[in-house]
Amino acid sequence: METLAFQGLVGLSVAMYLWLLAAGLTIVFGVLGVLNFAHGSLFMLGAYFAFTFYGLWGVNFWLAIALSLVSVAVVGYLMERFFLRHIYNQDHAYQLLLTFGFILILDDAVKIVWGGVAKIPAMPSFFEGTVSVVGRPFPVYNLFIIGAGVFVAILVWLLFEKTWWGKMVRASASDREMAGAIGINISTLFTGVFAFGAILAALGGALGTPVRVVAPGIGAAMIIQAFIITVIGGLGNLKGAFVGALIVGTLSAYGILLFPVFELFLIFLIMAVVLMIKPQGLFGS
Amino acid sequence: MKTRLAILLLIIFLAFLPAFAGKYLLYVTIHILLLSIFSLGFNLLFGYTGLLSFGQAGFYAVGAYGCAKILLVYPSLLAGILGGVALAGVASLLLGFLCIRHTRIYFSMLTLSFGMMIFSLAWKWRDVTGGDDGLVGIPRAPLEVPGVFKINMAAMESYYYVVLGLSLLAIYLFLRIVRSPLGLTLQGIRDSETRAACVGVSVRKYRLLSFTIAGLYAGLAGTLLPPLESTVTPPVAHWSYSAEPVLATLLGGIYSFSGPIVGSVLFYLLKDIIVRFTEYWLICLGIIVVVLVMGFRGGVVSIFLKEGSRR
Amino acid sequence: MKEIIRTEGLAKYFGKMAAVHEVTLTLQEGLFTSVIGPNGAGKTTLINLLSGYLLPDRGKVLFQGSEITRLGPDKRVRMGISRSFQVMNIFPRMTVFQNILLPVLSRLNKTSSAFSSLLSQKEAVGEAERILVEVWLKDEKDFPAGELSHGDQRLLELGIAVASNPQVCFLDEPSSGMNPIERIKVLELVKKLAAERKTTFIIVEHDMDIVFSLSDWIVVMNRGEILAEGRPDEIRANREVREIYLGEEV
């Protein structure tokens, strides 16, 4: 029983990284109609930048995170402004192919700049140590991650529900032409949304640096799970992405515990089932 | 007429290749032929039917592992190939049935996921697939029909001829398919699935047919790998491996018959050249993909042919 | 006169709005029928329901007495129902010839033939060539359909619709987006097809010239319901129709 509870908590912390990755992916799809294959690469870049600022250059942990968000936002801006923007109205296949090309470029680029060896940076001192949960040691940092994830989820929700920018974004998502007609600069808005999605992904990567390996391919490993989450939750649906991330995160934690051989398989199966029964996702319309 | 002559010369060239080429060149040529078969199947789905699959490596792997398992207990090349292809066909029929009901992006994501499901099975299911070590010691079994003939495959040249023969057969069959009413129907579905339905075409049925044929071709390419390499490992099911026919086809030209074949040659040429200068060949490939998608949809073939389409 | 299409209490809702509301209608074989009405009257939705492009929320659709309410468009085509689209819906990467050949092959049940070449399908090829001549596109035979002029694309659009040799053919605003010259050509083609083929044409149109010069029967819709139906002279005289829609003497 304790093991289950403990593993659930582990799953919860994993779910937060997945949520941050999936949130950006689903927002970008909901508003721009683009499925960004390279979204995981932005996650990876977030980790690499944070590692560089914090782990290599000794910058303050919080500042390092902020700087890495800015850096990745710039990368996201470049991707959208100079490449994706030109193929919005075309077959989805070309978007997938283009963003796939980005994965190839970014994956090798990090190898060139940072070398191919996995990095394990140091833990910031105020998060060191463990807490006793059901009699077992649970890292403090993971509790921070769970808290941070929930905090960001609330912030994002407030952003889209209560702010003027959020309202513009939602209007553009549901009717692009109309939004343009009432004076919203769609191009700029789209670039902004894409950059916002990139920031969320980067946050996930950056926050993970002290506890997770920083290596090429970490984004690619998670992007598929992020897809699965967005499918389960409904493409474009933030609430769904959060719930989906909780499901996938805890399932993979339990899967590793209970069905070690097939936990990957299990998650894919869930997605296939959701797609067959309710293709718009559990929260989709 | 010119094209036919060129093709004939190419076939003659390939037929006489072992006479003047070393083992390594034969080895690479075999790989190019495998990628060509793999890519042709992929392009039936993509260029001709309009469905982008990122999971074809799954069926390649089913063919490869299927053939390997058969060869390990019953060393007959024919049995391995037929068995592997049949398994890949069944797998693509079943998975296709699940994927085909969905539209473009969902379809691509589903194929990616199913491909990765097969990868995770290959990787984790030690008892059956050997886990991340894979299957080893696969014999290059003789090509035999019991009681009729038996041809030893130990020499690379012999195996090369088997692969060449099967490849030419596969290419010829593919040519017949895309120029047939079935081929036209698939293109109609690609161009406008609603109009295709409104002229009486059962869109789902034909998409499934296309998916299954693509799976059979992927499987065929897969079955020819184990006898060559004597091992099969999980990476052949990974999505990055599914990317190879995607890239080869994009390079050669999506809307042309020969695009995937030309692209496969280019793919290996590029890989060979780039790897001499730098180990970072993925970034070069990525840049090429971006350039192609942004500017040269028709691939290399369209640059040389005024009309890259309708062949 | 035999009935060819009949609906009973047909309804389709988008959210709370009834695009088509309790429509009970009988269309007669051989009568060139026009469906007219202001924008938003539900004309295109009705066509979509009759051609199988949309499924209704309530009611029934019958073709020659048999119920087809939930059949998909491909099955309806096989029964003898076809349509053209308001927004051009052709096969752009295929040649004009192939655009016509496909529906013919489909009608002859040859689409799953995987190893014979297209040209060997003599019957289909012959018929497709005849249809090309019929819709005045013989010279453009080998052009990619997407490269045709706008007006010619409309001719092709109609050609694809009649290529399945239907018993009833719905034309959704065939003159939509046409300039005056193209419009005349389209009108002439529709007239020709109606005269020469055994097909019952049901068209949705805004162009009153086309409507009144071609129709044997007119159905007027407003707000998802049938306002009136009858012969052209009856409709012309109908006061309600004139108030709501025609506005002035035609």
What range does the domain containing C27 cover? Answer: 3-90+165-246
Average pLDDT of C225-249? 81
C113 domain-assigned: no
Q: Which of B42, B46, B97, B105 best probes binding to A when mutated, by most A CB atoms within 10 angstroms?
A: B105
Summary mean pLDDT of chain C: 90
Percent of chain C with pLDDT over 70: 97
What's the structural domain count of chain A? 1
**Nearest Cβ partner for C73 among B176, B185, B197:** B197
B76 domain-assigned: yes
C156 domain-assigned: no
CB B226 within 8 A of CB B89: no
Q: Compute the C-alpha angle B201/B205/B251, nearest 5°.
A: 95
Q: How far is Cα B86 from Cα B222, in angstroms, rounded to an integer?
A: 12
CB A237 within 8 A of CB A174: no
A92 domain-assigned: yes
Percent of chain C with pLDDT over 90: 68
CB A94 within 8 A of CB A87: yes
- B89 falls in which pLDDT band (50, 70, 90)? very high
CB B111 within 8 A of CB B206: no
Q: Which of B242, B279, B282 best probes binding to A when mutated, by most A CB atoms within 10 angstroms?
A: B282
- Confirm or reject contact between B140 and chain C (CB < 8 A): no
pLDDT digits (tens, 9 = 90+) for A107-142: 889 988 988 777 777 777 777 788 887 778 888 888
What's the structural domain count of chain B? 1
pLDDT of residue C3: 87
C9 domain-assigned: yes
- B307 falls in which pLDDT band (50, 70, 90)? very low
Contact yes or no for B113 and A103 at CB 8 A? no
HSE at residue A70, side-chain half, CA atoms within 13 A, is: 7
B123 domain-assigned: yes
What's the structural domain count of chain C? 1
- Confirm or reject contact between A90 and chain B (CB < 8 A): no
Of B275 and A183, more confident: B275
**pLDDT higher than 70, residue C121:** yes
pLDDT of residue B303: 67
pLDDT of residue A213: 81
Encoded tokens for B108: 């691509």
Contact yes or no for A264 and B282 at CB 8 A? no
What range does the domain containing A204 cover? Answer: 2-277
**Nearest Cβ partner for A97 among B50, B281, B289:** B289
**pLDDT higher than 80, residue C67:** yes
Of B192 and A141, more confident: B192
CB A236 within 8 A of CB A26: yes
What CATH number is associated with residue C19? Answer: 3.40.50.300
C74 domain-assigned: yes
Average pLDDT of C211-227? 90
Q: How far is Cα B81 from Cα B227, in angstroms, rounded to an integer?
A: 10
Closest CA of chain C from B192, distance in Å: 6
Q: How far is Cα C39 from Cα C176, in angstroms, rounded to an integer?
A: 13
Contact yes or no for C160 and B195 at CB 8 A? yes
- The closest alpha carbon to B255, from B290, B201, B305, B197, belongs to B305
A285 domain-assigned: no
- B146 falls in which pLDDT band (50, 70, 90)? confident
A282 domain-assigned: no
Q: How far is Cα A111 from Cα A85, in angstroms, rounded to an integer?
A: 27
What CATH number is associated with residue A93? Answer: 1.10.3470
Contact yes or no for A97 and B250 at CB 8 A? yes
Q: How far is Cα B55 from Cα B237, in angstroms, rounded to an integer?
A: 8
B308 domain-assigned: no
- The closest alpha carbon to C241, from A226, C229, C231, belongs to C229
What range does the domain containing B83 cover? Answer: 20-236
Lowest mean pLDDT across A152-166, A201-215, A257-271, B82-96? A257-271
pLDDT of residue C245: 67
Pairing of strands B143-145, A130-133: unpaired
Closest CA of chain B from C100, distance in Å: 10
- Confirm or reject contact between B108 and chain A (CB < 8 A): yes
Element (H, E) at A112: helix A92-114
**Nearest Cβ partner for A265 among B121, B280, B282:** B121
A142 domain-assigned: yes
**Nearest Cβ partner for B113 among A83, A96, A272:** A272
Lowest mean pLDDT across A85-89, A245-249, C242-246? C242-246
B268 domain-assigned: no
Complex prediction ipTM: 0.91
DSSP B44-89: IIIIIT----S-HHHHHHHHHHHHHHHHHHS--HHHHHHHHHHHHH
pLDDT of residue A258: 76
DSSP B244-276: HHHHHHHHH-TTSSSHHHHHHHHHHHHHHHHHH
Of B228 and B276, more confident: B228
pLDDT digits (tens, 9 = 90+) for A138-150: 888 888 888 899 9
- Residues of A whose CB is below 8 A from B126: 261
CB B34 within 8 A of CB B221: yes
